[in-house]
Amino acid sequence: MLSAAMSYFPEIPQIPYEGPTSKNALAFKHYNPKELVEGKSMHDHLRFAAAYWHVMRNGLGDPFGAPTAVMPWEDYSDSLSNAKRRADVFFEFLGKLGIDFWCFHDRDVAPELNDYKKSTAALQEVTAHLGQLQQASGKKLLWGTACLFGHPRYSQGAGTSPNAEVFAYGAAQVKAAIDATHALGGLGYVFWGGREGYASLLNTHMGRELDHLAALLHLAVDYKRAIGFTGQFYIEPKPREPSTHQYDSDAAACLNFLREYDLLGDFKLNIETNHATLAGHTMEHELTVAINAGALGSIDANQGDMLIGWDTDQFPTDLYGTTKVMLKVLEMGGFTTGGLNFDAKRRRESHEPLDLFHAHIGGMDAFARGLKIAAAVRADGRLGKFVCERYASWNSGIGQRVENKKATLAELAEYVSSHPEPVIASGRQEMLENILNECIC
Ligand code: XUL
Ligand code: CO
């Protein structure tokens, strides 16, 4: 365990809030955890989490070049001492930024040893160490997950593998990852279908694969109940990358799958910004689809690069983006089990440990501003009022009868026959965009 005097980031102070006029790169300009917004602290609205896989395990390699990240604490071995030291580094990192939640994959925190029993024993040992670090720091696990996409055995899927033994291996790995999450008091558990999809229908039985994926999720629900794990299960939609066709391609596809297989009562969605844009949607579209189904659970906060077109997992800096996300979160009444997990990595050129801090400070400030702007939009009230008035014709008369399922087609024909041509009001999109810009100050 890390001794109090020892530091892996000796040059980095505890990151303070200094306000919008500060020029200190290692200070928050907008994220003031105790500041109240709509009567609740920023800390409790935003529930920031850091992703273990990006902070501790992402070497920043790309398809054309070697990893660049400088990690002075690493000996790059699969040893448990290396894994535990990494955990110490991560918790110092969380402490200095004031990030109180974290997320992990089983193989981020403990090594894959190409042997289920050995890998699981390693995970259990590192989990015990992580539990001590949580206890000492008060940090909480937002969610855990199993990496069912990295190892070659999963190259053709895990829950959707054509090979039943691979399915069994994936299920066994899910069991061990749920156990670790449960042991750490995790508030949730995510299923991202990393390779749950296909590249060609020439070799794929789509119907059987979907049935098997649902079977895996039902087995996980049964297990969760059996061991008394009360964390929320989430599915994380994403199209393409890695499979050409992912079964969980967007929020609507996931909701349809969950309904079809009678899983909707046990799952919510974990929506990620860069996944939404890869699906050809905006993030607020995906959030709205999830909210409408009562199924928005958590958010993987990042942003993509529209010029590159793959999952670049960049830190969120776009204030329109963070504002629109926070408008949806406020509209929903805030997170319950979920939060804002920075599923984001530095650019390959930002290879120094210091850049980890700049990246998270920027993301936290961008969301703090988004929260303040969203609250200002709601206090201003013009956008909300406009939408209410736009749909006012549904509140009485023929509109109300349709909404209440009282009207008949014959009645509507009679209504139209005895009324003049409808006059539709302007949607005023540009005026509303101007109002949003007025609130961004
Ligand atoms: C991949 C992705 C994953 C999930 C967890 O694009 O977002 O990191 O969040 O497996
Ligand atoms: Co993600």
Check residue 441 and give its pLDDT.
78
Q: Say which of 108, 250, 300, 343 is annotated catalytic.
A: 108
Check residue 309 and give its pLDDT.
86
Cβ of 345 below 6 Å from ligand 1: no
Nearest atom (ligand 1) to Cα of 272: 7
Ligand 1 mutation pick, 145, 189, 192, max ligand atoms within 8 A of CB: 192
Q: Strands (DSSP E) along 242-295, which ranges?
A: 245-246, 267-272
Has 250 been annotated as catalytic?
no
Nearest atom (ligand 1) to Cα of 311: 6
What angle in degrees, to the nearest 10, is found between the helix axes of 116-137 and 164-183? 20
Which secondary structure element, helix H or strand E, spans residue 141, and what is its range? strand 140-145
Backbone angles phi and psi of 249, in degrees to 5: -70, -30
Q: What are the residue boundaries of the structural domains of the chain, listed by start? A: 36-380, 393-440
Has 108 been annotated as catalytic?
yes
In tens digits, the chain (441 residues) has pLDDT values of 445 568 999 999 999 999 999 999 999 999 999 999 999 999 999 999 999 999 999 999 999 999 999 999 999 999 999 999 999 999 999 999 999 999 999 999 999 999 999 999 999 999 999 999 999 999 999 999 999 999 999 999 999 999 999 999 999 999 999 999 999 999 999 999 999 999 999 999 999 999 999 999 999 999 999 999 999 999 999 999 999 999 999 999 999 999 999 999 999 999 999 999 999 999 999 999 999 999 999 999 999 998 998 999 999 999 999 999 999 999 999 999 999 999 999 999 999 999 999 999 999 999 999 999 999 999 999 999 999 999 999 999 999 999 999 999 999 999 999 999 999 999 999 999 999 999 997
Q: What is the largest CA-CA distance in the chain?
A: 83
Are 127 and 109 in contact by the 8 Å Cβ rule? The answer is yes
Query: Two tokens at 183?
Result: 């042991």
Are 84 and 129 in contact by the 8 Å Cβ rule? The answer is yes
Which whole-number Å values give the CA distances from 323 to 225, 319, 326, in the listed order?
37, 6, 5
Ligand 1 mutation pick, 57, 101, 142, 145, max ligand atoms within 8 A of CB: 145
Annotate 289-320 with b (16+ C-beta within 10 A) or e (fewer). Answer: bbbebebbbbbbbbbbeeeeeebbbbbbeeee
Check residue 6 and give its pLDDT.
87
Cβ of 311 below 6 Å from ligand 1: yes
Cα(378) to centroid(ligand 1), Å? 32
- Note every long-range contact of 318-322, with CB atoms under 8 Å and residues 24 or more positions apart, other chains counting: 318/366, 319/366, 319/369, 319/370, 319/373, 319/440, 320/436, 320/440, 321/273, 321/283, 321/370, 322/366, 322/367, 322/369, 322/370, 322/371
Which secondary structure element, helix H or strand E, spans residue 326, and what is its range? helix 319-332
**Rounded distance between C-alpha atoms, residue 297 and residue 191, angstroms:** 13
Are 229 and 141 in contact by the 8 Å Cβ rule? The answer is no
Check residue 5 and give its pLDDT.
62
- Nearest alpha carbon, ligand 1 atom 4: 192
CATH superfamily, region 36-380: Divalent-metal-dependent TIM barrel enzymes (3.20.20.150)
**Rounded distance between C-alpha atoms, residue 172 and residue 265, angstroms:** 23
3-class SS at 115? coil
Cβ of 284 below 6 Å from ligand 1: no
pTM more than 0.95: yes
Are 284 and 330 in contact by the 8 Å Cβ rule? The answer is no
Nearest atom (ligand 1) to Cα of 241: 6
